[in-house]
Amino acid sequence: MAEVRLHDLTKRFAQTVAVSDLSLDIADGEFVVLLGPTGAGKTTTLRLVAGLEKPDSGRIEIAGHDVTALAPAERDVSFVFQQYSLYPHYTVYQNLAFPLRAPARRWATADIDRRVREVAALLRIESKLDNRATQLSGGEMQRVAIGRALVRTPAIYLMDEPLSSLDAKLREDLRIELKRIQRDLGATILFVTHDQIEAMTLADRIGVLSTGRLIQIGPPRTIYERPDNLYVARRLGSPQINVVAPDALPLADVPAGAHSAGIRPEDILLHCDDGIPAEVLSVEHLGVETVILLSLGETHLHTLLGSHPPLAPGSQVRIAVRPGAALFFDAAGNRIPSNLSEPTRETAYGT
Partner 1 sequence: MSSGRTGTTAAHSVVDATSAGRRIAAVVVIAYALITMIPLVWILLTSFKSPPDSIAYPPKVVFEPTLEGYVNLFTTRSRQTPEYIESLGPPKTWYDALVRKRNMVITGPSRFADRYMNSVVIGFGSTFLAVALGTLAAYGFSRFRVPLKDDLLFFILSTRMMPPIAVAIPIYLMYRTLGLSDTALGMIILYTAVNVSLAVWLLKGFIDEIPREYEEAAVVDGYSRLQAFWKIVLPQARAGIAATAIFCLIFAWNEYAFALLLTSGEAQTAPPFIPLIIGEGGLDWPAVAAGTTLFLLPIVIFTVLLRNQLLRGITFGAVRK
Partner 2 sequence: MAEIRVENLHKSFGDFIAVRESSFTVRDGEFFVMLGPSGCGKTTTLRMIAGLELPTSGRILLDGEDVTFRRGAERDIAFVFQLFALYPHMNVRQNISFPLRIQRLPRREVRRRTEEVARLLRIDHLLDRPVGGLSSGDRQRVALGRAIVRRAKAFPMGEPQGALDAEFRELMCEELRLLHNRIGATTIYVTHDQIEAMSMADRICVMDRGEVLQVAPPIEIYERPATRFVAGFIGSPAMNFLPAQGRLAPGATEIRLNGATVPIPRLHAALDHPEAILGVRPEHIHIADDGPLRGSVYSVEYMGTRQLVTVDTGVGRLKVRAPNTVRVDDGDSVALAFDTRRLIVFDPASDLAVASAAFTETADG
Ligand X SMILES: Nc1ncnc2c1ncn2[C@@H]1O[C@H](COP(=O)(O)OP(=O)(O)OP(=O)(O)O)[C@@H](O)[C@H]1O
Residues forming the site for partner 2 (CB under 8 A) = 37-38, 82-83, 135-140, 143, 161, 164-170, 172, 194-197, 200-201, 220-221, 224, 236-238, 264-266, 285, 287-289, 304, 306-308, 345-351
Q: Give the Cα separation of 173 and 183 in Å (integer).
A: 15
Q: Which is nearer to ligand X, 118 or 195 (CB)?
A: 195
Q: Does 23 bind partner 1 (CB under 8 A)?
A: no
Residue 269 main-chain phi, psi, to 5 deg? -100, 130
Q: Does 37 bind Mg ion (CB under 5 A)?
A: no
Q: Give the Cα separation of 143 and 187 in Å (integer).
A: 19
Question: Of the ranges 83-91, 218-226, 266-274, 305-313, which one interacts with partner 1 (CB under 8 A)?
Answer: 83-91
Residues that contact partner 1, how many (by CB under 8 A):
30
Q: Which is nearer to partner 1, 103 or 350 (CB)?
A: 103
Q: Which is nearer to partner 2, 256 or 348 (CB)?
A: 348
Q: Give the Cα separation of 134 and 84 in Å (integer).
A: 12
Q: Does 16 bind ligand X (CB under 6 A)?
A: yes
CB of 125 to ligand X, least distance (A): 9
Residue 133 main-chain phi, psi, to 5 deg? -60, -25
Q: Does 104 bind partner 1 (CB under 8 A)?
A: yes
* Letter string b/e over residues 42-66, b meaning 16 or more CB atoms within 10 A of that residue's CB: bbbbbbbbbbbbebeebebbbeeee
CA dihedral 100, 106, 109, 112 (to 10 degrees): -20
Residues that contact Mg ion, how many (by CB under 5 A):
4
168-185 helix and 138-150 helix, angle to the nearest 10 degrees: 0
Q: Does 135 bind ligand X (CB under 6 A)?
A: yes
Q: Give the Cα separation of 113 and 102 in Å (integer).
A: 14
Q: Which is nearer to partner 2, 75 or 143 (CB)?
A: 143
- Do the Cβ atoms of 161 and 193 come closer than 8 Å? yes
Q: Does 138 bind Mg ion (CB under 5 A)?
A: yes
Burial class (CB in 10 A: 0-12, 13-18, 19+), 149: buried
Residues near 345 by Cβ (< 8 Å), separated by ≥ 6?
Answer: 225, 267, 322, 325
Q: Which partner in ligand X, Mg ion, partner 1, none is near 73 (CB below 5 to 8 A by kind)?
A: partner 1
Q: Which partner in ligand X, partner 2, partner 1, none is near 64 (CB below 5 to 8 A by kind)?
A: none
Q: Which partner in partner 2, partner 1, ligand X, none is near 16 (CB below 5 to 8 A by kind)?
A: ligand X
Residues that bind ligand X (CB under 6 A): 13, 16, 18, 36, 38-44, 82, 128, 131, 135-140
Residues that bind partner 1 (CB under 8 A): 50-52, 71-73, 77-79, 81, 83-89, 98-99, 102-105, 133-134, 136, 138, 141, 148, 152
